[in-house]
């Protein structure tokens, strides 16, 4: 497994992609509302990509686990869907929990990030689930320090999940980021501290905790992409691309 480290100058170059990804997610959160169609949100992201001169990481994406190519520029996962939601003709309803996952390349560097929100009137349990993913993301980022190990990030995420009584699925998780969206490094959302690859300055990874309310079992939709909870419970997903430095980790996809 090749672990690529970026120079400080390269990390600075990656900030443009991260900033743009944050801008798109902010625009999507602002646009999402009861009655808004998922395809219109995908079109918004697509328009922003064209205007920026960026390149989608999703539209031609065809990994072994999906029925590729993906064909859209945005993942929209609603309610019991939690990952890789393929945008389709669906108007958001009051109380829907929706996760947006977006990645693109700017000037040859990739940014990848995700956010979950509730449109309309929220359920308290949905807000609590979203907050748990955000807390786990913050804990994972805080553990992404030079000298630590990959397992320290995973353990921090898993510890937050357990503190909220949540189960953790480790089939899909974070990954290294660079010239492509998914590097060789896989970062599961649970693990043992002190284990795994050493974190050195210049390592850039996407940390992405995602949790389901009452299970860790998942099923695939007939569309070959959308991943849902096996028991119909809702899911939430939070993600940032970060860089390990000699000091505090740097969030490259921070949103205003």
Q: Where are the alpha helices (DSSP H) in the chain?
A: 8-31, 38-52, 124-142, 150-163
Binding site for a divalent metal cation, residues? Answer: 101, 112, 175, 208, 239
Q: How many CB atoms lie within 10 A of CB 223?
A: 12
Binding site for substrate, residues? Answer: 84, 182
SS3 content of the chain, % helix, strand, coil (to 5): 30, 25, 50
CB 180 within 8 A of CB 228: no
Distance between CA atoms of 73 and 76, rounded to whole angstroms? 10
Distance between CA atoms of 177 and 145, rounded to whole angstroms? 17
Buried b (16+ CB within 10 A) or exposed e, 47-65: ebbeeeebbbbbbebeeee
Query: Which CA distances in Å does 202 have to 134, 154, 190, 193, 215?
Result: 24, 19, 23, 21, 35
Binding site, residues? Answer: 84, 101, 112, 175, 182, 208, 239
Structure tokens at 91: 């108007």
CB 253 within 8 A of CB 21: yes
**Phi and psi of 80, rounded to 5°?**
-80, -5
């Amino acid at each position: 497994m090749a672990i690529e480290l970026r120079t400080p100058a390269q990390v600075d170059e990656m900030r443009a992609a991260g900033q743009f990804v944050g801008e798109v997610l902010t625009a999507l959160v602002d646009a999402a509302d009861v009655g808004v169609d998922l395809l219109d949100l995908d079109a918004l992201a697509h328009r922003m990509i064209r205007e920026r001169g960026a390149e989608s990481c999703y539209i031609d994406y065809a990994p072994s686990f999906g029925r590729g190519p993906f064909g859209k520029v945005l993942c929209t996962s609603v309610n019991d869907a939690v990952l890789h939601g393929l945008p389709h003709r669906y108007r958001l309803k009051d109380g829907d929990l929706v996760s947006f996952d977006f990645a693109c390349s700017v000037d040859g560097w990739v940014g990848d990030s995700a956010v979950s929100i509730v449109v309309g009137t929220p359920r308290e349990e949905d807000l609590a689930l979203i907050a748990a993913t955000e807390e786990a993301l913050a804990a994972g980022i805080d553990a992404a320090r030079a000298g630590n190990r990959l397992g320290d990030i995973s353990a921090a995420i898993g510890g937050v999940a357990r503190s909220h009584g949540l189960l953790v699925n480790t089939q899909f998780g974070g990954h290294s980021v660079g010239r492509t969206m998914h590097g060789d490094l896989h970062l599961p959302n649970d693990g043992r501290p002190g284990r795994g690859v050493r974190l050195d300055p210049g390592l850039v990874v996407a940390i992405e905790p995602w949790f389901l309310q009452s299970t860790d079992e998942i099923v695939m939709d007939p569309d070959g992409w959308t991943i849902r909870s096996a028991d119909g419970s809702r899911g939430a997903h939070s993600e940032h691309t970060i860089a390990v430095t000699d000091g505090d980790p740097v969030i490259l996809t921070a949103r205003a």
